[in-house]
Amino acid sequence: MKDKKNGDDSLQPTDGPLTGVEPKQETPESPKAGPEGATPSAPIAIEKPKAGGAAEQRVDADGCPSSSGDHKPRTDEAHPSVAAKSVSAKKPQSFFAEQTPLAIKVAPRILRYRSRRDFLLFGAGALAVLTAGGCLLPQDTLSRIGVPRKIDSPGKEWFLNRALRIDDDVAEALYSGTRILPTYTKSQITPLKNNYNGATPDPGYISGWKLTLDGLASGLSISLDIRNLLSRFSVHEQITRLVCVEGWSAIAWWAGVRFDDLLRAYPPMSQAKWARVESSVNLDASGNPDPYFMSLDLATARHPQTLLATHFNGQPLTVDHGAPLRLLVPMKLGLKNVKAITRITYVAEEPRDYWAERGYSRYDGI
Ligand SMILES: Nc1nc2c(c(=O)[nH]1)N[C@H]1C(S)=C(S)[C@@H](COP(=O)(O)O)O[C@H]1N2
Ligand SMILES: [Mo]
């Protein structure tokens, strides 16, 4: 993924309502999202990141358990109070001796469900690691450890894809739809580059831009322009981190309408579990049309921090950042944050995904 910049940074849509964020519908929970001096929207729990945030803590907590030869039977002296309570008087206890099992009451149904799921997840993961890991070793290493057959590249690729798929499934199983991502203050904002993978589209598309909605319960296809969106829905601000798979991230100030509000106003057909979010104005590196399309599960679309962003830094989005409407899903990698959205289609089955088709994850959670 390369950074291509040929867009006009200063270009902004000329439409009246776009020159400021003025929500038409004010609700008590959505303070006016003014360009200056506004604070992130109230309903979003502000979890101030400490210096050295969760990621670093995780690394710290990840220290290896001591593996020194400390496996002698424990003496009672070491834990006198524990020993006094748990050691049976009948036979002397040692570290290896059979312990009286601790009885924990768990409802049988929960236990069955949990252990089955854990077993499947662990088993699948372990198998994938063994198989994929083994296959990926160089051929001479494999021969040395007695694996004779030459494993060809398609085989490796198949295993890698399976492993990635399992990785995605585990991440998905652990996802909490209610997890609120950290938000930041304006002083923490960092520069955000234009990360169109291909050429930045020519701004000409903006004047005729419309968002089309398909796969609705009504069976209709709906077209909305920016004026429709901004007059109909409350505007919410948020300062969140955008994390790119390429290894950089940026804290950026966005405003826009909640995807959830759009879903309530234009409900998807009942079988729909996914949204396909598309930009038909996307270009490849040579400037040829190259539609960009992403799968988004509806649970993530309904998350309160999932926005259809219209503004960046208190101003209408520039072409560089996806004017006039871009997806903002801070719980997903940058590549899911589709710029210059032109169509959203609700579907029952997981739709195609631009980067998943190019070998990346489908889930892309962070
Ligand atoms: N239409 C479209 N949307 C896109 C991309 C793209 O190439 N085309 N790149 C994605 C990637 S990889 C990232 S990291 C973010 C970057 O957003 P930014 O350009 O506003 O920084 O946009 C995403 N949305
Ligand atoms: Mo990215």
Q: Which two structure tokens, joined as six digits, stand for 161?
A: 């894809």
- d(C-alpha 74, C-alpha 121), whole Å: 34
- Identity of the residue numbered 354: Y
Q: Is the CB of 332 under 6 A from ligand 1?
A: no
pLDDT at 140: 65
pLDDT in tens, 291-338: 999 999 999 999 999 999 999 999 999 999 999 999 999 999 999 999
The response to whether residue 238 sits with its C-beta less than 6 Å from ligand 1 reads no
HSE-CB of 255 using CA atoms within 13 angstroms: 31
- The CB of 194 under 6 Å from ligand 1? The reply is yes
Percent of the chain with pLDDT over 70: 57
Q: Is 319's C-beta closer than 6 angstroms to any atom of ligand 1?
A: no
Indicate if the pLDDT at residue 224 is higher than 70: yes
Which fold, 181-358? Answer: Sulfite Oxidase; Chain A, domain 2 (3.90.420)
Distance, in Å, from the CA atom of 234 to the CA atom of 21, rounded to the nearest integer, reads 10
Amino acid 94 reads S
Average pLDDT of the chain? Answer: 75
In this structure, which residue's CA is closest to atom 10 in ligand 1? 335
Contact 1/245 with Cβ under 8 angstroms? yes
Q: Is the CB of 211 under 6 A from ligand 1?
A: no
Alpha carbon nearest to ligand 1 atom 17, residue? 195
User: Three-class SS of residue 308?
Assistant: strand
In order of 91, 113, 184, 248, 293, the CA distances from 54 in angstroms are 46, 30, 14, 17, 31
Phi (first) and psi of residue 334, to 5 degrees: -50, -35
- Asked whether 280 lines ligand 1 (CB < 6 A), one says no
Structure tokens, 243: 């994390």
Between 207 and 178, the higher pLDDT residue: 207
Q: Calculate the CA 35 to chain-centre distance.
A: 27
SS3 of residue 238 by DSSP: strand
The mean-pLDDT minimum among 37-41, 179-183, 232-236, 350-354 falls in: 37-41
Atom of ligand 1 lying closest to residue 198 CA: 7
For CATH 3.90.420.10, list the domain ranges present in the chain. Answer: 181-358
Q: Which long-range contacts (CB under 8 A, 24 or more apart) does 219-224 make?
A: 219/269, 222/266
Residue 137 carries which DSSP code? S
* Ligand 1 pocket test target in 339, 355, 361 with most atoms within 8 Å of CB: 339
Residue 62 above 90 pLDDT? no
Query: What is the distance in A from the centroid of ligand 2 to the CA of 257?
Result: 22
pLDDT at 256: 98
Alpha carbon nearest to ligand 1 atom 16, residue:
195
Q: Is the pLDDT of residue 96 over 90?
A: no
Could you tell me which of 269, 270, 291 has the C-alpha nearest to residue 282?
291
- Ligand 1 neighbour 366 (Cβ under 6 A): no
HEC-encoded secondary structure of 324-338? CCEEECCCECHHHCC
Report yes or no: 148 and 342 within 8 Å, Cβ to Cβ: no
- Give the Cα separation of 131 and 125 in Å (integer): 10
**Predicted structure pTM score:** 0.64
The predicted pLDDT at position 94 comes to: 59
Closest C-alpha residue for ligand 1 atom 23: 335
- Give the mutation target among 1, 4, 312, 337 for probing the ligand 1 site: most ligand atoms within 8 A of CB: 337
Over residues 99-152, the pLDDT tens digits come to: 666 666 656 665 555 554 555 555 565 655 555 555 566 566 666 666 655 556
Is residue 245 exposed (0-12), middle (13-18) or buried (19+ Cβ within 10 Å)? middle
